[in-house]
A = this chain, B = another copy of it.
Amino acid sequence: MSRSRAGKGRGTGRATLEEVARLAGVSTMTASRALSRPQLVSDATRAKVERAVLELGYVPNRAAQALASRQSHVIAVLVPSLSNAVFTAVLDGIQDAVEASHYQLLIGNTHYSDAEEEKLLRTYLQSDPDGILLPGLSHSPEVASMLETLRVPVVAMMDLAETPSMLSVGFSQLDAGMALTRHLLGKGYRRIAFVGAQLDERTLRRADGWRQAMTEAGLFDQRLEIMTPAPSTVALGAALMRRVLAELPDADAVFFCNDDLAHGAIFHCQRAGIPVPGRIAVAGFNDLPASSLMLPSLTTVDTPRYQVGYQAASLLLDLIAGKAPAARRIDLGFTLREREST
């Protein structure tokens, strides 16, 4: 009997499991079992405990559970952005997949910064997560070594790993970039510019795809490449379209690395009275909700971001549960949406 003031949890003023047990007339550990693995106790006991829980409004203390069980039931999730609709969809998928489980999500926004990613990971490690979900395959050396020494499963999202040493769920950004470029080539466009912003690894892989397809067609020209590290926004898209028209007057098509840029480009053309695709074709990436509705509707690549989140979280949950994963690399593919803008 070590408790000093019986009858009241003193930390938070909330009922403790000990009080539940006392009220139910059982031991603390039986009360614990009645709640965590009810099939291990008799019906009568379970009923008594449940009644006591209700009466006291008992809420288990997660910190104590985590400490005692050495299981945090926490999954750390890192995304590069929340303003990018792609990653909010990924989060939706993760949340839905985790919904039924008792896992709690720790969601961090890295703002596309290696330094912030490292800082967040370091912070989340304090919570001793049972698993980690993060975007992409390339990380700073610090982050890479933290992930290696960790003993918990890590699943990379959005692109596919080259080596099976890393678990990944996504689709080939390279193939998608090639597919869109080939579509443009097939339509007869020859001077196809690539416009990239943010320059995260996904954008760079899409650029690789464009480069490869252009090279295959014997049409690659370094000058057709416009890259800026500025965040991808609709306004930037309008500005970059202006730049394409001014600096690359013979360009007959533009592959924007993201739909929001392409939206801005189309708005600029609407306003300037430049016919799309008559004067110049425009294509984007990700198929955001407005893309199919604007005038002209936007040719783009539909990406399975919700599914990426859902499947990545499901895979992680399996790994945490000790199940062998069906695959270490889940390719969810992509869909080319050919529309009016090309």
Contacts and interface: CB of A to CB of B under 8 A. Distances in A.
B63 A128 contact: yes
A17 to B, nearest CB: 12
A128 B61 contact: yes
B263 A128 contact: no
Interface in A68-103: 70, 72, 82-83, 85, 88-89, 91-92, 95
Nearest to A123: B104
A1 interface: no
B233 A126 contact: no
A11 interface: yes
Interface string A124-147: 011110000000000000000000
A277 B51 CA distance: 64
Contacts of A92: 82-83, 109
* Count of chain copies: 2
Nearest to A238: B293
Contacts of A109: 91-92, 95
A83 B85 contact: yes
A226 interface: no
A234 B289 contact: yes
Contact of A61 (B67, B260, B290, B292): B67
Contact of A59 (B60, B70, B125): B125
A264 interface: yes
A259 B62 CA distance: 41
Contact of A267 (B13, B61, B233, B293): B293
Nearest to A109: B95
A126 B234 contact: no
A13 B149 CA distance: 11
Contact of A127 (B63, B85, B289): B63
Given A64-B67, A88-B88, 12 more contacts: A59-B122, A61-B67, A61-B126, A62-B126, A62-B128, A63-B64, A82-B88, A83-B85, A234-B293, A238-B293, A263-B293, A270-B295
7 contacts: A12-B70, A12-B151, A59-B122, A92-B109, A235-B289, A264-B290, A267-B294
Question: Which 5 A-B residue pairs are closest in the complex by CB-CB distance?
Answer: A63-B66, A11-B70, A82-B88, A270-B295, A267-B293
